[in-house]
Structure 1
Amino acid sequence: MSSIRVILFLYSLYSLASATGHLRLELTASTNCNLRLLTDSSDETLQLLIGEKRITSFHPRGLIRDTIRVGFSIPNGKTTAFEFSMKNSGQPQLPNVFEDAGVVVLIQSMYECNRGFHGLTCEFYHHYNYHNYSNHHYRDEEGNS
């Protein structure tokens, strides 16, 4: 029985020490382009189409941080870095604008908690009870149906 308690304790420590949320970025470009996004732990290039919203997410590795720095660049262009808050305010952050060589990209960001987590830094875990009715999940705020 004590081994189960140890496992539950270690799991709760891991949940508190690891990222339990993600930064969602919505990107809209003024022209077709390839946009490179660079962080401490990732490097990806997205193809953006004129006027079409593209969504990507970053799941920070390691300990919870207050901000994440993301660098943006187009091929043969300069890198511009923006810092995004890693706080779950429930509201989108103020938009940023990336500009280089005639390309303009509107960047809308929001930090969201992963499923089951809540709080300013998504540090609290709440297990919801889901019931399946005709392939739809219903629950109230306490997790009851």
Structure 2
Amino acid sequence: MNDNFFAFQYHALKPLKQWGLGNVIGGTILTLIPGFWRHFGLQALSWGAIDWLLAIVGRRQALLKAEDLVAGDLDESAAHAAAERFRTILLINAGLDLLYIASGLWLFRTAGERADRRGMGAGIFVQGLFLLLFDSILAAEINRRWIPPSP
């Protein structure tokens, strides 16, 4: 199973699941504090719920495909194509993550004395930064392990 891309994908999505759940819990607690922290927490809660759901669905699909590959219902060319598609999605997401970081930073810097806007900007910045690191590292690992070099 070490050479099974889908098993790798299943395990690789675990940090996203944990990040999402941690943000849902932490964000919920932070929404109880007025001002900056409430809006930071709302960002953590919202982004965390989406990350958690994406990881749950992605892990479930990867597990099913890993089983299909082991059973012979999928072949290695299908796994290779899936690895390339997933890497492409991660690279596109990394580009979007840069936009999230920039927009969060912009909102934070232009908010003036508005603590709610500063909290929202900081929250967006933190979420974008994590996602940039996650998407970039995972895309590089897929490239290293699953995408053969071009001749």
Common fold by TM > 0.5: no
Say which structure, 1 or 2, has more relative contact order (CA 8 Å, 6+ apart): 2
User: Computing the radius of gyration over CA atoms, which structure comes out larger, 1 or 2?
Assistant: 1
Structure showing the higher strand proportion among its residues: 1
Structure showing the higher helix proportion among its residues: 2
- TM value normalised by structure 1: 0.30
- TM value normalised by structure 2: 0.29
